[in-house]
Structure 1
Amino acid sequence: MKKLKQNLPIMIGCFMIIGLVAFSFIYTYFIKDTLKPPPTFLYNDEGKMIGTYGYPPSLTYPFGVDRFGRDVFWMVVDGAKYTIAIALVVAIIRVVFGILFGIFYGFTGKKFETIVNPFINAFRFVPAVIIVLPIFQMLQFGVGGNQFRIISLQILLISFIAIPILTSTIGDEVKEFLKNDFILSSKVIGAGNMWLRRKHVFPFLRTRILLLFVQQTIQVLFLLTQLGVFRLFIGGAVTLFIDDGDGRDMSKANEWAAMIGSNFFELSIDPWVIIGPSIAFIVTIFAFNLIKLGIERMIHKQQVPTKQFKHHSVKDFGSLNDFDFVNNTDGKTDLLEKDQSSFVLSK
């Protein structure tokens, strides 16, 4: 029961994430074709027209209907699998390459650090969105080939933008870990770098891999939101036109950040248009934070020593002579000397 309580945040967070993705696939393959599009005009009970696209949130349309006649709730559901999948794939790439490069960086000397640190600091102090912005713009307008190739390059771009900082962070942890006495002892008896990596460094980082993965997933979601504000969409955009001929660039995949960015200029007209994707982002980030909290608890529990000594039960033996003996049996300590049988020493 205690173990279940400790793992409860991880279980709740995973249940939320899996539920969102599963519901998104169910909608795409089973529900989407059965839904009727929202009506062009709304009428009251008297038959009088009271509105047209877009509709504000209501019981029928929880997140409203945008000016293109699309139900925002089902758009958010449809985009869940794309947004979460992008975040997970990017986080995996970041963690894998960050750990590989970080371990290499941890075994390097000060001369190598002097050369590499200025490059890493450039990524540390400049926001990632500023670095990827011009390249993302070129990729979105079709530079580089077909659609699949563009999406692949976009994912690789937002993946590798964080690897220099991850390399530095993990490398610094490895350098500190290598200062331990048992590492120095291994080197003295002839252990090489490959042996140290396999037997010591990898097991040391293994407990941190999952935590790094969740942290990077949350950071990717934040980066996607920032790109959406600049109207840069993963997967490309499609231009939709309103009746008056006004066109808007919309995401092809209903990715949440793209939904926020594409409707950014609609806030003065329909301020509720970004409520749906914003709530979806909040719920998803909250779920990943729950998983992160559970993992941190597990790591902290592993670091706490399990064996505790009962210092309060230790008695004073100052009155014993140098050649008096103590007999330890069954968790209690009896003095062999009869006149000192009152002293007790616990384990």
Structure 2
Amino acid sequence: MTQTLQTTPTPVEVKPPQRASRRRFRPAIVIPSAVVGFLIVATIAPGIIASGDPLAMEPANAFASPTFAHPFGTDESGRDVFTRVIHGARNSLSIGLMATVIGVGLGLVLGVIAGWGSKVVDFGVNRVLEVLFAFPSLLLALLVITILGPGEIAITLAVGLSTAPGYARIIRSQVRSIRASNYVEASVVQGHSQGFLIRRHVLPNVAAPLFVLVTLGVGQAIVWASSLSFLGLGATPPTPEWGAMLAAGCGYMSIAWWITLFPGIFIVLSAAATTILGHSLQQRQKERS
């Protein structure tokens, strides 16, 4: 007679799903967001950070090195570089943001027309985009400024128009994929108009990629706008604008390096922060999809 041994299985403790991943610190999002938040405050209310006058001159205190009273030193006219850099965020960031809005807006119109239109329309728009792509973006911006003349408005339009072809191509591919989806085909069978399909299906589905494009594009637009101002095609001295400040300080690099260093740091910080934030948002969007 054999005896069967029965063992009671050890209960396994079931742990609740961990939610730490949602709460964990994401430096790729938090740090750039903090930098962008600081720049937004400097753009909207620069007096909170630097209460001085960016145009106030003190010739007796020219070329003063960074001290507690002047954290970024002074320039050739005795103006406080820190105050000018903070107040310059309004000009530099507004130019970059408005140029991005113009580029994305024009790219949205061309992309929807090409992606939703017939093959003939798509062919025509693509040929126009290819012609624009044949010119380097900065060269195309210089061409626009040559026609319109130098100035902040001309730089904004130039950078916006030069970035529009890239946005148009990305949006076109998005619209093409949306047009081939099942829910759009179902709406077509139901007899909905083209305008309804674009408003109901195309624009809402393109909105999320558009937000990422704007975040990525602002940093690039800031760099291009500062480059054009550095060449003397944008804001004119003594306007506090980062590119113009770089150009003004180049002649004094050997005796006053801070005049050029700190505006350059802010250009790099703003471009890097918006670009990293855009890539992080793009990655999260891919994870959710």
TM range (shorter): 0.7 to 0.9
Distance in structure 2 (CA, Å) of the matches to 1:33 and 1:222: 25
Distance in structure 2 (CA, Å) of the matches to 1:37 and 1:153: 29
Question: Aligned pair in 2 of structure 1 residues 161, 251: CA closer, same or farther (>3 Å)?
Answer: farther
Q: Deviations over 1:78-120 (max 9, x none)?
A: 1112212222222223323322331122112332233333321
Contact 1:107 1:175 in 2 (8 A): yes
Q: Identity, % of aligned pairs?
A: 22
Task: Give, in angstroms, the shift of residue 279 of structure 1.
Answer: 0.8
Contact 1:99 1:170 in 2 (8 A): yes
Contact 2:50 2:86 in 1 (8 A): no
Contact 1:6 1:294 in 2 (8 A): no
Identify the residue that residue 71 of structure 1 maps to in structure 2.
Answer: 80
Is residue 97 of structure 1 aligned with residue 98 of structure 2? no
Is residue 116 of structure 1 aligned with residue 125 of structure 2? yes
Distance in structure 2 (CA, Å) of the matches to 1:293 and 1:132: 25
- Quick one: which of 228, 242, 263 aligns to 2:249? 263
Which of 1 and 2 has greater Rg? 1
Distance in structure 1 (CA, Å) of the matches to 2:183 and 2:53: 63
**Residue segments in structure 1 that go unaligned for 5+ positions in a row:** 42-52, 142-149, 238-249, 304-347
Contact 1:95 1:213 in 2 (8 A): yes
Secondary structure of the structure 2 residue equivalent to 1:232: coil
Is residue 193 of structure 1 aligned with residue 202 of structure 2? no
Task: Give, in angstroms, the shift of residue 23 of structure 1.
Answer: 4.3
Identify the residue that residue 296 of structure 1 maps to in structure 2.
Answer: 282
Task: Give, in angstroms, the shift of residue 29 of structure 1.
Answer: 9.6
Aligned AA (1:221): I
Is residue 27 of structure 1 aligned with residue 28 of structure 2? no
- Quick one: which of 265, 274, 297 aligns to 2:260? 274
Aligned AA (1:69): G
Distance in structure 2 (CA, Å) of the matches to 1:286 and 1:208: 19
Residue correspondence of structure 1 range 115-154 to structure 2 within 5 A: 115-137=124-146, 139-140=148-149, 151-154=152-155
Identify the residue that residue 16 of structure 1 maps to in structure 2.
Answer: 35
- Quick one: which of 60, 63, 69 aligns to 1:54? 63
More helix by share: 2
Q: Deviations over 1:2-38 (max 9, x none)?
A: 4343776444433322323424634389721599965
Give the alignment's Cα RMSD to 1 decimal.
3.2
Aligned AA (1:85): S
Contact 1:259 1:274 in 2 (8 A): yes
Aligned AA (1:70): R
Question: Aligned pair in 2 of structure 1 residues 63, 202: CA closer, same or farther (>3 Å)?
Answer: same
Distance in structure 2 (CA, Å) of the matches to 1:180 and 1:36: 60
Distance in structure 1 (CA, Å) of the matches to 2:39 and 2:238: 19
> Which deviates more, 71-80 or 174-183?
174-183
Q: TM-score scaled by structure 2?
A: 0.77
Question: Aligned pair in 2 of structure 1 residues 33, 206: CA closer, same or farther (>3 Å)?
Answer: closer
Q: Deviations over 1:207-238 (max 9, x none)?
A: 2121011012112112113213322214xx2x
Aligned AA (2:271): I
Aligned AA (2:95): I
Contact 1:231 1:262 in 2 (8 A): no
**Residue segments in structure 2 that go unaligned for 5+ positions in a row:** 1-19
Contact 1:28 1:78 in 2 (8 A): no
Task: Give, in angstroms, the shift of residue 166 of structure 1.
Answer: 1.6
Q: TM-score scaled by structure 1?
A: 0.66
Aligned AA (1:169): I
Question: Aligned pair in 2 of structure 1 residues 192, 136: CA closer, same or farther (>3 Å)?
Answer: same
Distance in structure 2 (CA, Å) of the matches to 1:93 and 1:36: 34
More strand by share: 1
Question: Aligned pair in 2 of structure 1 residues 233, 165: CA closer, same or farther (>3 Å)?
Answer: same
Contact 2:57 2:77 in 1 (8 A): no
Aligned AA (1:94): G
Is residue 3 of structure 1 aligned with residue 22 of structure 2? yes
Secondary structure of the structure 2 residue equivalent to 1:54: coil
Distance in structure 2 (CA, Å) of the matches to 1:134 and 1:192: 40
